[in-house]
Amino acid sequence: MLSFVSNVVTQYTISSNCVRVAVIRYSNSADVPFQLSSYNDVNGLRQAIGAIQFLGGGSNLNVALDLLRNQVFASNVVRPDTARIAIIVTDQLQRSAQIDNAANSVKSQGITIVAVGITVTGRVDVSYLNSIGSSGCTIQTSDYSRLIAEARDRIVQNQQCGCIRYVAPPPPAPSTFMCFALSSTQFYF
């Protein structure tokens, strides 16, 4: 999973003037290994992604979504005129009123949720995954090993923000804030 995140971020210009990235890892609880303002270059960001450790435990997505809304994409952290994209990667998702409330709160603030479900475990309710993701922003993949091949290009193509790598010049101020919420039930490299 971490190689997938690292691979996605290499497709964007990571800088204080373009795309900013944070990661939330979640299991029974959630934390933010690094914030949006932590890295201004893709190499440092990729090193930080590679150093993320597995938490173990369940898959408490509503806690991760609340952390996303209240801390990572808080109004005092991001400008209101920027794209805010949350990429959720999970291999466990069952219907829950708490997840519904948290996802709806996130989307009501203008944050796009890209929901990526790893279906090999049989523990992802695919119709529910579709309801969690923003319109047209749900991706299913059969296995962790297929994330890059089946999900990366769709994310990059669908979440074009003007900061795709090799597009110059970048806009004068950050145009996209991106956060990956990673279910910590299994990390595959």
Mean pLDDT on 147-176: 58
Tokens of 36: 């949006």
Is 188 a member of any domain? no
The rounded distance, in Å, linking the Cα atoms of 134 and 40 is: 28
The pTM assigned to this predicted structure is: 0.85
| pLDDT value for 175 | 59
Q: What CATH number should be reported for the domain holding residue 102?
A: 3.40.50.410
158 or 107, higher pLDDT: 107
The rounded distance, in Å, linking the Cα atoms of 91 and 161 is: 27
Is 189 a member of any domain? no
Instruction: Give the total number of structural domains in the chain.
Output: 1
- Express each pLDDT in 45-91 by its tens digit: 999 999 998 888 888 999 999 999 999 999 888 877 788 889 999 88
Is 44 a member of any domain? yes
Is 129 a member of any domain? yes
What is the torsion angle, in degrees rounded to the nearest 10, for the CA atoms of residue 118, residue 120, residue 122 and residue 128?
20
Look at residue 148 and tell me whether its pLDDT is greater than 60: yes
Is 59 a member of any domain? yes
Q: What is the mean pLDDT of the chain?
A: 83
Domain of 27, in residue numbers:
2-183
Is 84 a member of any domain? yes
The rounded distance, in Å, linking the Cα atoms of 138 and 154 is: 10
Find residue 113's DSSP bridge partners: 86
Look at residue 162 and tell me whether its pLDDT is greater than 80: no
181 or 116, higher pLDDT: 116
Q: Which of 105, 163, 115 is nearest to 136 (CA)?
A: 115
Look at residue 182 and tell me whether its pLDDT is greater than 80: no
